[in-house]
Structure 1
Amino acid sequence: MLSVRRFVPSLSLLMAFEAAARTGSVTTAASELSLTQSAVSRQIKMLEEQLGVELFHRERQTIRLTGGGEVYAREIRESLRKISAASLMLRTNPLGGTLTLAILPTFGTRWLAPRLPGFLAANPGITINLVTKLSPFDFRLEPIDAAIHFGTAEWPGGDLTLLRSETVIPACSQELRHFHQFRYPIDLKKVPLLHLTTRPRAWERWFAMNGEPTQPVPGMLFDQFATAAQAAIASMGVGLLPQFLIEDELATGKLVSALDLPMKSAEAYYLAWPHEREKHPPLVSFRNWLVAETAADR
């Protein structure tokens, strides 16, 4: 441990270096940290002496990161961010039991959020923090315990458990369906088709499944289901949308099936987590609850 501690500078030295690196000014860093300019300069010098490496080029009254200093600044900034996040989590839940979960926006707001009160009521010692992530990420670089994933059963450096499958339907407004009187799959090509950037070939699969040639299908692009659904409600086109995420719109008639031709998605929803968090108590409780909640949909 002694050899390890030698390369762990004090937090005050690292904060002084990070502030100067980020602002490009010892004076600005000193103001931010409520220190004198000479104090910040001394701390940076002490850090350089401890590491045995120059972190800044000093040119008259200015400083500029060296190549090594720039890489070190990125790593230190990320580490300080993680320490800050961990401290905030501890402060908001001093007894522990915090789970930070990455969610897909529409799944999180429409399916998960209404059910979370039941989980929290059954697990009063657990606090859940939610962050939005649209695509897989590296758990090693994010202070996140688990993630809701839609896709194949793959997550580098992580484990997964299947939650549920999904059926999509070609959905549009009643007005659009009435005006165009859709009868066959090819009829949908007469109107704008609404695409999701995360599923660029979904419409091609749907047309192929219904006997139409497999070829690129032009249309409008959206990065979230919610905006695609709103566009469909506004008669901007037909969206290929997950049926379970638009149940309210279907029930109220804001959306209808353009044609009664549903398609089961090739991908599915999973819960993913890093290997080392496998036995994290809040994750175990949440995983067991989530698997039970989605049992009927598998």
Structure 2
Amino acid sequence: MIAPRRFLPSIPSLLALEAVDRLGSASAAAEELSLTQSAISRQLKSMEQQLGVDLIQRSQMRLHLTPAAQEYVQVARAALTQLAQASLKLKANPTGGSLNLSILPAFGMHWLAPRLQDFARRHPEVTVNLNTRLRPFDFETQHFDAAIHFGQRDWAGVNYLPIMRETVLPVCAPDILPDNPDDIEWLAEAPLLHLETRPDAWERWFAGQGRDVTGVRGMLFDQFSTMGQATVHGLGVALLPSYLVEEDLRTGRLVRAWQGPGVSLGDFYLVWPQSRAESEPLKSFRLWLEGQINPAGKSRK
């Protein structure tokens, strides 16, 4: 049993309270919810009577929630959001078996997406919903079942499945490669392109080549895709993952700016919250992913 019904206000009442808190007036809430202003007032009054607590403070033409109601409405808003997301998930896959997965743009497009057809063939009962996130988030406040994480094991409260180590290579357009590219000093003076989520990538790469460089400057990008296009068009030298530049290196659109060893800046992981039981769709996806990582395990279900 969840709770006695007397502690559970109706959804219309919760929607009215949430809208008044967000919009600041009963008239604005009524317009958004396609109700009359008096209907909003009745919903709020009914909730106050049910809970035995004052929820609304009135000052001039604006409504404010009491301090206790402000804390309460945050929980109600999260619950309404989760309920709406669950309803969308049910509508999208009425037979069940959805997996909401947060992905990183470049990895999701170039490594994961080409392999998902195999997962769909093996597990037609599971619908995978993909959504892009560039940074870690809180599983308790987001609707994701799992996520692709890059870096270190620094995400608290999650389980980890290592996927692969990423190796980055310095690449540039052929036109900006100097006559003597074997001298690493040219890179220290070249226009270097940077990714927001890896601000120290170049310093770490130079350190991997035995060269101490600090204060590296240059254009800043939020995604590999835009930084890669800027590199192709000759705007500078970029550190790009090897899996992302294979085709451009093969066709000559890009060239290696330095022939030294590649440097790893982190690993890719599948992560999922420890606070929840592993669902069947997530278990199917995890086992399939293990098979992609370890080909000898591809037959595992």
Cα displacement (A) at 1:15: 0.9
Say whether 1:49 aligns with 2:56.
Answer: no
Runs of 4+ in 1 over 4 A off after TM superposition: 1-4
Equivalent position of 1:168 in the other structure: 168
Corresponding residue SS for 1:287: helix
Q: Deviations over 1:114-171 (max 9, x none)?
A: 2111111111111011111111111111111000000112321110110001111001
Q: 1:64 to 1:154 in 2, by over 3 A?
A: same
Corresponding residue SS for 1:231: helix
Equivalent position of 2:208 in the other structure: 209
Q: Distance in 1 between matches of 2:291 and 2:174?
A: 36
Which consecutive unaligned segments of at least 5 residues does structure 1 have?
none
Q: Distance in 2 between matches of 1:32 and 1:215?
A: 53
Equivalent position of 1:132 in the other structure: 132
Say whether 1:219 aligns with 2:218.
Answer: yes
Query: Retained in 2: the 8 A contact 1:163–1:295?
Result: no
Corresponding residue SS for 1:102: strand
Corresponding residue SS for 1:193: coil
Q: Deviations over 1:253-275 (max 9, x none)?
A: 22111111232314100000012
Corresponding residue SS for 2:147: strand
What is the Cα-based RMSD across aligned positions, in Å?
1.9
Say whether 1:190 aligns with 2:189.
Answer: yes
1:96-107 superposed matches below 5 A: 96-107=96-107
Q: Deviations over 1:220-240 (max 9, x none)?
A: 222211111111111111111
Query: Retained in 2: the 8 A contact 1:196–1:224?
Result: yes
Equivalent position of 2:255 in the other structure: 256
Cα displacement (A) at 1:31: 2.5
1:41-80 superposed matches below 5 A: 41-80=41-80
Equivalent position of 2:115 in the other structure: 115
2:201 is matched by which residue type in structure 1? A
Equivalent position of 2:283 in the other structure: 284
Which consecutive unaligned segments of at least 5 residues does structure 2 have?
296-301
1:7-18 superposed matches below 5 A: 7-18=7-18
Equivalent position of 2:22 in the other structure: 22
TM, length-normalised to structure 1? 0.92
Q: Distance in 1 between matches of 2:234 and 2:246?
A: 18
1:71 is matched by which residue type in structure 2? E
TM, length-normalised to structure 2? 0.91
Give the length in aligned residue pairs.
295
Query: Retained in 2: the 8 A contact 1:176–1:235?
Result: yes
Q: Distance in 2 between matches of 1:266 and 1:182?
A: 23
2:238 is matched by which residue type in structure 1? G
Equivalent pairs: percent with the same residue? 47
